Amino acid sequence: MELRATVALVTGSSEGIGRAIAEALTNEGSRVTITGRRENAVRGTAEELGLDWIVGDVGNEEDAVHTVNSVIEKHGRLDILVNNAGYGLFKPLVDTTFEELQGVFSTNVFGPFLMAREAARQFIKQGGGEMINISSTSGLKGSAGRTAYGSSKFALRGMTECWRDELRRHNVRVMLVNPSEVMTNFAEKAGVEREISDNKLRPREIADAIIGALKVDGRAFIPEFSVFATNPF
């Protein structure tokens, strides 16, 4: 598709992968709105990149509805939704509380659901749209200590498959992206130490891959793809 003059909404986009995606779309001529829960961070990124911004929690239904509706009211349409908002929690099963599991699912599962539902209503109405869900390679294979995070990404993958089957007849392309380890502060926020390496992925690689997938002619699409570092060792 031609990205110039499209209207895009990217969640969780004040930093990291979300910011890189928003910047890449802007460089392609898309009119981008970014969202996040921390007003100072969202406003700062928006001002730096020259973007529209909305503060909100994707896991809050009122915020999600308001965010999507605000973009549509301003531009008259919505062409691209990138569900990027999410966070990690890495603990053994026996140490994970129910409240912690609920918190991860609120952002990583319920958030994409709410945003996708509101965007899909507009996509169906206008006869097309692009939905990009940012998952993780943790959603492809379970591993120790990832009960909350891994299962949330498995759930997102399952929802994506349902939405893809349901919406493709409306000319809506629903794609799932599984980044491997990316050098952001994601792990640090989750309380996990990791070695910094120039050989590992940067947010830019994920953004570039998404731009490439979006540019595929509308008669075709890439349902799902993973992005790994060539030689992270």
Task: State which residues of the chain have pLDDT below 50.
Answer: none
Q: Six-digit token pair at 117?
A: 């539902």
Q: Which residues are catalytic?
A: 149
At residue 103, the 3 state secondary structure works out as helix
Fold for 7-227, please state it: Rossmann fold (3.40.50)
Task: Give the pLDDT confidence score for residue 138 in this predicted structure.
Answer: 96
Task: Give the pLDDT confidence score for residue 184 in this predicted structure.
Answer: 82
d(CA 118, CA 63): 11
State how beta strands 129-134 and 80-83 pair: parallel
Task: Give the pLDDT confidence score for residue 196 in this predicted structure.
Answer: 78
The full set of domain ranges for the chain reads 7-227
Half-sphere exposure of 24 (CA within 13 A, CB side): 22
Q: What is the pLDDT of residues 49-96, one digit of tens each?
A: 999 999 999 999 999 999 999 999 999 999 999 999 999 999 999 999
